[in-house]
Homo-oligomer: A and B are copies of this chain.
């Protein structure tokens, strides 16, 4: 059994700072009061423990407090990505069989049959009591990740998963009661939610940035008002640029940048070092409730490009033999790994003998440091968001002029990667029409940034699309 995170935390360190922004501050005691008000109101509106409830809202203080209320009540919280289209969201709501939706934007859900609860509508309601203990295997949160089939899968993250992740992380990153974590990641992503969980488990304040602001981040880092921050490559670059431009250096109090969501270019790490910004590269995913491997800052230059070693309670495996430099699929094992999916994929366990097959390709060097060669099943990571080609291809194939479509990621200065589409048409159609069609069905970040018209697509003998060939086409194009 585990304690009810917020109740236990407020019992231990009620007056410690829990949450702050540029304008407000909450102690854990104040956070408990706010969470309790919201939990009572939810309860009065029919929300019960273990009920599945979706949340679609920006990463604001109100949303943060609502997440606390949901944890307090122990609902299974489905965190919806605000960038998705209504069509994409409807798939998730149906798959998760959600009972209620909490949102700041009723108009988005127009015509939806599921009862809506307003993020701001906190009703006076009688006191309720919360269970002080939580089953380790109870689902705390659910996040959808797209997959190779193009059908997103709802990943269960249990209280045990979140705890295991936070506790393994602390042995690697360390923790001081004076730490403060800057959260400029969306709360609906595991990169953001894992900060919320660490805050409760460690008794650590979070500085919440509702929307990433490079200058403000740089300022907080320079002033030592925050000591840890999670970044992806584009946000790291933006902060480095602000600091270089102003000739700022990180405060000695600033301990580390946890950099995930794809490869961090080596030049960033060198530039960051010059600013006294220690970079700790990490490899994690929704299925592992965040970090699974991490490169310590002492190794960040010596092992450029590596995502490090597993955390203490985790295991990593590459292929069948773990032979140094032999390429293979990456497998992950440990108490932080999801027990599985909900809905359509509930019976498709992602585990084989306790190992999660990530689909990512990589290798170990002779010292056991992991290098990622290729993201799972042609995954595209664009500004920290995961995009699966199959999902875009399925939408493209629905267009009446398109016979077949292939999508792959291509390098992009700003986002790291963006999707490019290769299409075969049987009638005339303009690029803009296709883009517009995609916009109706896909979140903006998934809309192909390049569209190429082709005669045929590269396929293997069994007619399987060869997306790596597409990428090779792209490289040769960009070299023309």
Residues of A within 8 A of B (CB): 2-3, 8-9, 11-13, 167, 170-171, 174-177, 179, 201-203, 296, 298, 309-310, 312-313, 315, 368
When C-beta atoms are compared, the residue in chain B nearest to A166 turns out to be B171
In the complex, the answer to whether A309 meets B11 with C-beta atoms within 8 Å is yes
Contact assessment for B171 and A201 in the assembled complex, using a CB-CB cutoff below 8 Å? yes
**Chain B CB within 10 Å, residue with most, of A2, A9, A171, A201:** A171
B296 touching A171 by the CB < 8 A rule?
no
Residues of B within 8 A of A167 (CB): 167, 170
- A177–B172 alpha-carbon span in the complex (Å): 8
Q: Which of B11, B203, B310, B313 is A171 in contact with, Cβ under 8 Å?
A: B203
- 28 CB < 8 A contacts A-B: A2-B313, A3-B312, A3-B313, A3-B315, A8-B312, A9-B312, A11-B368, A12-B309, A12-B310, A12-B312, A13-B296, A167-B167, A167-B170, A170-B170, A170-B171, A170-B175, A171-B175, A171-B203, A174-B174, A174-B175, A174-B176, A174-B177, A174-B179, A175-B175, A176-B176, A177-B296, A177-B298, A201-B312
CA distance A176 to B296 in the complex (A): 12
Complex formed: what's the CA distance from A203 to B175 in Å?
14
Task: Tell me which residues across on chain B come within 8 A of A170, comparing CB atoms.
Answer: 167, 170-171, 175
For A167, the closest partner residue in chain B by CB is: B167
Number of copies: 2
Q: With A11-B309, A11-B368, A309-B12 given, is the CB distance from A202 to B171 under 8 Å?
A: yes
Closest to A8 in B: B312
Q: Report the separation of the CA atoms of residues A298 and B177 in the bound assembly, to the nearest whole angstrom.
A: 10
The CA-CA distance from A46 to B309 in the complex, in Å, is 35
Question: Which residues of the other chain, B, contact A179 by a CB distance below 8 angstroms?
Answer: 174
For the complex of A and B, the 9 pairs showing the least CB-CB separation, nearest first, are: A174-B176, A167-B167, A174-B175, A171-B202, A12-B309, A174-B177, A170-B170, A8-B312, A11-B368
Task: Report the Cα distance A174→B175, complex, angstroms.
Answer: 5
| Residue on B nearest A132 in the bound complex, by CB | B315
Instruction: Name the residue on B nearest A13 (C-beta).
Output: B296
Bound Cα distance from A310 to B11, whole angstroms: 9
Write out the residue numbers on chain B whose beta carbons fall within 8 Å of the beta carbon of A11: 309, 368
| Residue of A174, A203, A296 with most partner-chain B CB within 10 A | A174
Q: What distance in Å separates the Cβ of A459 from its nearest Cβ neighbour in chain B? A: 42
Residues of B with C-beta under 8 A to A202: 171
Q: Which residue of B lies closest to A168 (CB)?
A: B167
With a cutoff of 8 Å between Cβ atoms, the chain B residues found around residue A315 in the complex are: 3
Q: How far is the CA of A324 from the CA of B9 in the complex (A)?
A: 19
Q: Chain B nearest CB: distance from A204 CB in Å?
A: 9
Nearest-Cβ distance from residue A2 to partner chain B, whole angstroms: 7
Q: Taking CB as reference atom, which chain B residue is nearest A314?
A: B3
In the bound assembly, the distance between CA atoms of A203 and B298 in angstroms comes to 14
Task: Looking at the assembled complex, report how far the CB atom of A462 sits from the nearest CB atom of chain B, in whole angstroms.
Answer: 39
A171 surroundings in chain B (CB, below 8 A): 170, 175, 201-203
Kindly list chain B residues whose C-beta atoms are within 8 Å of the C-beta of A176: 174, 176
A255 to chain B: closest residue by CB: B176
Known: A11-B309, A171-B202. 19 other contacts (CB 8 A): A2-B313, A3-B312, A3-B313, A3-B315, A8-B312, A12-B309, A12-B310, A167-B167, A167-B170, A170-B170, A171-B175, A171-B203, A174-B174, A174-B175, A175-B175, A177-B296, A177-B298, A201-B312, A203-B312
CA distance A313 to B201 in the complex (A): 9
CA distance A219 to B175 in the complex (A): 26
Bound-state CA distance A203–B171 (Å) is: 8
| Smallest CB separation, A179 vs chain B (Å) | 8
What is the CB-to-nearest-CB distance from A228 to chain B, in angstroms, rounded to a whole number?
A: 12
Chain B minimum-CB-distance residue to A173? B177
Q: Which residue of B lies closest to A311 (CB)?
A: B12
A326 to B309 alpha-carbon distance, docked (Å): 50
Q: In the complex, what's the smallest C-beta–C-beta distance from A181 to chain B, in angstroms?
A: 14
Query: A291 → chain B, closest Cβ, in Å?
Result: 13
Shortest C-beta distance, A197 to chain B (Å), equals: 12
* Nearest neighbor of A2 in chain B, beta-carbon distance: B313
| Cα A12 to Cα B315 with chains together (Å) | 11
- Cβ contacts under 8 Å, A310 to chain B: 12
In whole angstroms, how far apart are the Cα atoms of A315 and B7 in the complex? 12
Q: How far is the CB of A120 from chain B (nearest CB, A)?
A: 32
A280 shortest CB reach to chain B, Å: 11
Complex CA distance for A183 and B305, rounded to whole angstroms? 38
